[in-house]
Chain A
Amino acid sequence: MKDDIKILEVLEYLPKHIGAMIAKLPEKILMDAEEIRLRLAKPLCVSGSNAELFIAANGYAVSAAEEAYFVSEDDLKRALQLTCNYSLYSVEEELRNGFITVSGGHRVGVCGRTVVDGGKVKTLKDISYMNFRVAKQVLGASDKVSGYLLQPPDSIYNTLIISPPQCGKTTLLRDLVRRLSSGSKDIPFKGMKISLVDERSEIAACSMGIPRNDVGIRTDVLDGCPKAVGIIMVIRSMSPEIVATDEIGRSEDADAITAAVNAGVKVITTIHGSNITDFLNKQDLKRIQKGVFERYVVLSRKKGVGTLETVLDGEFNALYERSKEHL
């Protein structure tokens, strides 16, 4: 049972007394918890899919913020040291992006004062906000969707997953990759060669080059590489049938995706947004708004994380709509 509670792995990166407070919470809350938030001189907070709890110094969840344990500057400094394994220089690149991936695929978001050099973020200092996000691999998250994406007998449609943050976009992508790579006996599908460009190490959760999550048997993971460069690299080097990547948004990403599609490689990727219009409004992605993707999957958390809202085809015709299902 204890092994199922992923949040316990994260506690290792918190100062001992804070870890002890959180470990005292009831198992049910821990199972559900998704984030632990440390904010300077603000209450310690644990949040899950349906609740936000303040934690008191004795380890009890309290509803009133005043009764909670207030995070000190020292706590944050220590948590940062533990998170980066006492070596800020080893997470230089990651700090620039605002988060550090720790072993187990958990992600620690940091916020503080930015040092800017020539318009680019050089580093972050005076870290005063930290967000420990618990990574949970949900095997079977793609059960409902995958049927819409397969192109019998042995190919798939270029797919874009559209979802607001925290709605299970990465979880869905990870499970899709696992399923498409390993193949499946229930729906006769033989499995395809996938190159996973994992810029932020959160899909495969590689640590020292070894994926900590199950991403399938035919998957090659390019860990920590910028998407635009990585996509071109893997197409040349690994001869993939599918390229999968997370959170596109810049125009270089659009160029790389166009290059992949033109090379005859299938693409699965994700983007932030809450409906198809959000995607069509993104100026940087003009090039890939028409004729590239053949399936759009829209997620929300209306019925819990990873609620499948709609599936659209390349012409934006609905193949599935949650709102109509119950009529």
Chain B
Amino acid sequence: MMLKIVGGLLVISASGLLGMVYSYKLSLRYRELANLRRLMQMLETEVTYGATPLPAALFSVSKKAEGPIGSFFCSISRCLSDRSFYTVREAWNDSAESILTQSSLKRTDIDLIKSFGSILGCSDREDQKKHFQLFYIQLSHQEDAAMEEIKRSAKMYRSLGFLLGIAVFVVLA
């Protein structure tokens, strides 16, 4: 009997934890998007006011953040400095695929980020500024979607985890 109760508690807490982890991951996506916005704003300043060349601009921005977005920027900067790619787009896409796919960002987020790589550095400052503004608008759609998801699903995943645990326990008992 004792064994049954302990086992049951283990099952319930494990699946409950699973639900909590899953809902935490949802909020991670939102945090990373917010982090991305912050860094992009810094990059915009470097580009449109400082006219700093990209390798230097990306590197100085990357030092101001941790996590996957920071290493994403750092990786592009490195790729460009050591000339492993000829265009920003190639370096940007390569880093996005290798680093951002490891993060909590969804495919749609990554695709949006990738689309920006073909624009960055390819025109004058005025035009770059416009593209940054457009990017923020698109980014806020993703942020809204992420927020919506948190509201809708985070609570559900948490309770679902516990309920699933209880159901398993009932069936097994």
Contacts of A89 in B (CB 8 A): 47-48, 51, 121, 123-125, 128
Which of B18-26, B79-87, B152-160 lies at the binding interface?
Answer: B79-87
Per-residue CB contact flags for chain B residues 39-57 toward chain A (1 = under 8 Å, else 0) read 0000000011001111101
Question: B61 interface residue, CB < 8 Å from A?
Answer: no
A82-B121 in contact given A90-B51, A90-B52, A92-B51 (Cβ < 8 Å): no
Given A92-B124, A92-B125, A123-B124, A87–B87 Cβ distance below 8 Å?
A: no
| Chain A at the B interface: SS class | helix
B88 within 8 A of A: yes
Interface presence of B9 (CB below 8 A): no
Q: Are B122 and A88 in contact (CB under 8 A)?
A: yes
Q: Give which listed residue, A16, A77, A92, A123, contacts B87 with CB less than 8 A.
A: A77
> A15 contacts the other chain (Cβ, under 8 Å)?
yes
Residues of A within 8 A of B47 (CB): 87, 89
Chain B residues in 8 Å Cβ range of A316 = none
Evaluate whether A78 and B86 lie within 8 angstroms (CB atoms) in the complex, with A87-B53, A89-B51 already known. Answer: yes
With A86-B80, A88-B121, A123-B124 as known contacts, state yes or no: A81 contacts B52, CB within 8 Å: no
Task: Name the B residues within 8 Å of A16 (CB-CB).
Answer: 83
Min Cβ gap A81→B in Å is 6
Residues on A with C-beta less than 8 A from B52 are 87, 90
Point out which of B88, B121, B123 has the most chain A C-beta atoms below 10 A from its C-beta.
Answer: B121
* Nearest CB in chain A: distance from B19 CB, A: 45
User: How far apart sit A77 and B57, CA to CA, in the bound complex (Å)?
Assistant: 21
A122, B87: Cα distance in complex, Å: 23
Instruction: Please pick, from B53, B87, B128, the residue contacting A78 in the complex, using a CB distance under 8 A.
Output: B87
Chain A residues lying within 8 Å of B80, measured Cβ to Cβ, are 86
A-B contact pairs, 21 of them (CB 8 A): A77-B87, A78-B87, A81-B86, A81-B88, A82-B86, A86-B54, A86-B80, A86-B87, A86-B88, A86-B121, A87-B51, A87-B53, A87-B121, A88-B122, A88-B123, A89-B125, A89-B128, A90-B52, A90-B53, A92-B51, A123-B124
Q: What would 8 more interface pairs be, CB under 8 Å, given A16-B83, A86-B80?
A: A82-B83, A82-B86, A86-B87, A87-B54, A89-B123, A89-B128, A90-B51, A92-B125
**Chain B residues proximal to chain A, CB less than 8 Å:** 47-48, 51-55, 57, 80, 83, 86-88, 121-125, 128
